[in-house]
Amino acid sequence: MAVPTEYEDRVLAKMGQIGTVHLIREFQPVRGEKSVFVDVNARFDRLNEKLDTVLSKEVRQTLAEPDVEAQPQRDLEEVVHSLTTLETELTGLTDRLQGLERDVKDLEVTEGKLDTLSSIGLRTDEIGIFRHVFVRAGFIRSALTTKLAGYLNGTSVVSIPLPSGRPRENLVVLAGLKEDMSYAEQILKMLNFEEMTLPTGLKADPKAALGETQEAVRLKTDEIKQIMQKMLEIKAKATSLRPYVAEAAEYEEAKDSAIRTQRKSLFHGWIPRDEEDAFRTQMEQLVPKQNLYLKFEEPKTEDTVPVQFKSSGIIKAFEMFTNLQGVPNYFEINPTLIYTFLYVTMFGMMFGDIGGGIVLVVIGVLLTRLRRGFLAFSTNATKQIAGVLIACGCAATVFGFIYGNFFLVNTPWQLLKPLNNLEEILTIALAFGVAQIILSLILNMINMARRKDLPGLILGGKGLIALIFYSSGIVVGYAFVKERNLSVFFAGSTTIFSSIALISLALIFFSPLIKSASRRDESPILQKLLEGFGEGLEAFISFIANSVSYIRLAAFAIAHEAIGIAATVLGGVLGTVPSLLLLNVLAFLVEGFASFIQSLRLMYYEFSTRFYLKNGIVYKPFKIGLIKMKT
């Protein structure tokens, strides 16, 4: 879209109100004059830095956290005015706080001195310079008290060392005639004497003065807490402005996405297909038709098109697993729905227990009731985890009925007992793994077709040839396991599948060479042969290793039942209830956690690596809902 430069701000404001355009920055922007939106962000950050400096975590724990109120729609000028008011208020409070903290520090020092005077029975009015004599008190290292007495010997000055409460120091009280004061000061300076000075206006009785000082400390400390509470309220008000500041930043980013000529401003971005007509109508109402250039194009395979997630319900929770890998490419299948089914099924197969499943469901339901996040997780992440727990708990309960397990105790009904049906449970696990690998190859072929990559769809270690190789290899492998004789590879009907597997593997080896010939790639032939050798070897090894890897689905089911037998054996020593309780906790914490991890590993490594590109971007339309913009 191109519009006259004078319409740029109005067009941006309207796009923000519509909230359907994902803008793209084509080039690095050349910024001109600083806008008010940049200023809002800078001032907000500065305000929060000042507050965070003062309001440490320890301080906030002692204060009442005020609620953050939801804010209505505002003009940007109102937001700026609110920030200015908060900054001014914070500056005044900060200055007052610094003064109070200095006063408290000085008073606490005076407290210590008065406490010392009280302990030795010396009044505050007995220290000072009088008509004929002087009296001084202070601290000196214990090792120097003898030297001090020696230096003062022969003068009228007397020094009395007393306990100070400080390590390796004495409190020394000196008294003498005024004519010897100058000499005594020189000696004290030489011995690093720390004189005890007291503020004026203190009562003569050190105990009474101490009481007044402690009361002053209490009053100033209370005032400091009141100031901190006011600062916390400022923090809450600043937090309520955060959405406006975020929108200001979004507006600035949208402004940066524009390409400007002398007379025109150009915008480039993505919009959902069903929003095209509404957007065109809005723009034509805002900009005269003769001044508006607006063109819509279908996405091309080389474009980086944003992806809009539309999952809901329990599927929404499993978007977490998709996003952990990366955003799906626009031209590939979003695997979230498939991930949901596979993950839940694999977890249930490994942790099949009615009681354990019910516990997971209960935990998940309780997490959904939390208004705030759990531990270090945000509210949204907590709800996603809760959804995963509920789904996995339901699957564990279903497989618990199949295996006949209820908190490690066998139930009267059993469709499949892992320990007694080892061959069946292993076959099911391997078959499930084979089905997953075949599905991954089919998904990759669909993705290649969407990207119009015909060579990639047919050739290579993840295309049609790989599917043919793997499928025929499964038939040959099944025949070998059944007969357990190498001759089976070239006997009867198995010969056809062995031949298909070998031909397919050979095509995978030569696929880079065939691809380069079709694309007229002039790379060295030896390089392509080595690339093909690596791809073929990887396909051969990975298909076997990944298939066998699914045996862990059966292994965990067998281990769970074995833990139940261990509980029965242990019951003869500890008693039935204690042994069941102990091993259920162990199974839940160790086996349950391991099942979560292993399900994720199988899904990420054995399954998704064959088709998932994960190089997409999330659809984030430019949207302004709180800041009022003039259009």
Please tell me the predicted confidence (pLDDT) of residue 51: 85
Place of tokens 């490594």: 605
pLDDT band at 429 (very low <50, low <70, confident <90, very high): very high
Place of tokens 């497989």: 399
Give the domain extent around 503.
Answer: 314-610
pLDDT band at 568 (very low <50, low <70, confident <90, very high): confident
- Tell whether the model's pLDDT for residue 444 goes beyond 60: yes
Please tell me the predicted confidence (pLDDT) of residue 309: 83
Give the separation between CA 264 and CA 8, rounded to whole angstroms.
Answer: 9
Task: Tally Cβ neighbours within 10 Å of residue 197.
Answer: 12
Read off the pLDDT of residues 379-392 as tens digits, 9 standing for 90 and up.
888 888 999 999 99
| Torsion angle in degrees (nearest 10) through CA of 445, 451, 453, 459 | -20
- Tell whether the model's pLDDT for residue 194 goes beyond 80: yes
Average pLDDT for 17-22: 93
Phi/psi for 344 (5° steps) reads -65, -45
Give the separation between CA 464 and CA 454, rounded to whole angstroms.
Answer: 10
Please tell me the predicted confidence (pLDDT) of residue 29: 52
Read off the pLDDT of residues 533-548 as tens digits, 9 standing for 90 and up.
888 888 889 999 999 9
User: For residues 40 and 74, is the Cβ–Cβ distance under 8 A?
Assistant: no
pLDDT band at 607 (very low <50, low <70, confident <90, very high): very high
Structure tokens at 195: 């004189």
User: For residues 206 and 118, is the Cβ–Cβ distance under 8 A?
Assistant: yes
Per the domain annotation, does 436 fall within a domain? yes
Read off the pLDDT of residues 399-409 as tens digits, 9 standing for 90 and up.
999 999 999 89
Please tell me the predicted confidence (pLDDT) of residue 297: 93
To 10 degrees, what angle do helices 592-601 and 336-350 make? 140
Quickly list H helices, 257-331: 276-286, 314-317, 319-325
User: Is beta strand 627-628 parallel, antiparallel or unpaired with respect to 74-75?
Assistant: parallel
* SS3 state at 273: helix
Higher per-residue confidence, 538 vs 598: 598
Please tell me the predicted confidence (pLDDT) of residue 219: 94
Read off the pLDDT of residues 333-373 as tens digits, 9 standing for 90 and up.
999 999 999 999 999 999 999 999 999 999 999 998 887 77
Place of tokens 């942790």: 351
pLDDT band at 133 (very low <50, low <70, confident <90, very high): very high
User: For residues 450 and 332, is the Cβ–Cβ distance under 8 A?
Assistant: yes
Q: 627 forms bridges with which residues in the sheet? A: 74
Place of tokens 């984030």: 620
User: Structurally, how many domains does the chain consist of?
Assistant: 1
Whole-angstrom distance between the N-terminal and C-terminal Cα of the chain? 17
pLDDT band at 481 (very low <50, low <70, confident <90, very high): confident
Give the separation between CA 396 and CA 358, rounded to whole angstroms.
Answer: 8
Quickly list H helices, 121-241: 145-152, 181-190, 206-240
Read off the pLDDT of residues 289-311 as tens digits, 9 standing for 90 and up.
899 999 999 999 888 899 988 88
Q: 173 forms bridges with which residues in the sheet? A: 137, 160
Per the domain annotation, does 178 fall within a domain? no
Per the domain annotation, does 493 fall within a domain? yes
User: For residues 147 and 140, is the Cβ–Cβ distance under 8 A?
Assistant: no
* SS3 state at 162: strand
- Tell whether the model's pLDDT for residue 85 goes beyond 70: yes
Per the domain annotation, does 447 fall within a domain? yes
Give the separation between CA 289 and CA 301, rounded to whole angstroms.
Answer: 32
Give the separation between CA 544 and CA 547, rounded to whole angstroms.
Answer: 5
- Tell whether the model's pLDDT for residue 493 goes beyond 90: no
What value does the mean pLDDT of the chain take? 88
pLDDT band at 35 (very low <50, low <70, confident <90, very high): low
Per the domain annotation, does 27 fall within a domain? no
Per the domain annotation, does 59 fall within a domain? no
Least confident of 28-32, 247-251, 563-567: 28-32
Per the domain annotation, does 412 fall within a domain? yes
Q: Which of 209, 200, 213 is nearest to 128 (CA)?
A: 200
Task: Tally Cβ neighbours within 10 Å of residue 617.
Answer: 16
Please tell me the predicted confidence (pLDDT) of residue 491: 73
Please tell me the predicted confidence (pLDDT) of residue 311: 80
pLDDT band at 27 (very low <50, low <70, confident <90, very high): low
Give the separation between CA 117 and CA 137, rounded to whole angstroms.
Answer: 9
Read off the pLDDT of residues 44-62 as tens digits, 9 standing for 90 and up.
888 888 888 888 766 766 6
Give the separation between CA 338 and CA 341, rounded to whole angstroms.
Answer: 5
User: For residues 139 and 169, is the Cβ–Cβ distance under 8 A?
Assistant: yes
Per the domain annotation, does 184 fall within a domain? no
**pTM assigned to the model:** 0.72
Please tell me the predicted confidence (pLDDT) of residue 33: 52
Higher per-residue confidence, 493 vs 417: 417
Element (H, E) at 259: strand 259-260
Give the separation between CA 460 and CA 317, rounded to whole angstroms.
Answer: 34
Give the separation between CA 11 and CA 23, rounded to whole angstroms.
Answer: 13
pLDDT band at 393 (very low <50, low <70, confident <90, very high): very high
